[in-house]
Amino acid sequence: MAIGGVKEKVMAAQREGMKSLIFPRRNKDDIDELPDYITQGMEIHYADEYKDIFNICFPDIDILSL
Summarize pLDDT for 8-30 with one digit per residue, the tens.
Answer: 999 999 999 999 999 999 999 99
Domain count of the fold of the chain: 1
Could you tell me the residue range of the domain that residue 27 belongs to? 6-65
pTM assigned to the model: 0.86
Judge whether 1 lies within some domain: no
Looking at residue 66, its pLDDT comes to 64
Judge whether 41 lies within some domain: yes
Judge whether 27 lies within some domain: yes
Q: Residues 11, 17, 22, 28: is their CA dihedral positive or negative?
A: positive
Are the CB atoms for 30 and 9 separated by under 8 Å?
no
Q: Which residues of 37-54 are buried (b: 16+ CB within 10 A; e: fewer)?
A: eebeeeebeeeeeeebee
Judge whether 18 lies within some domain: yes
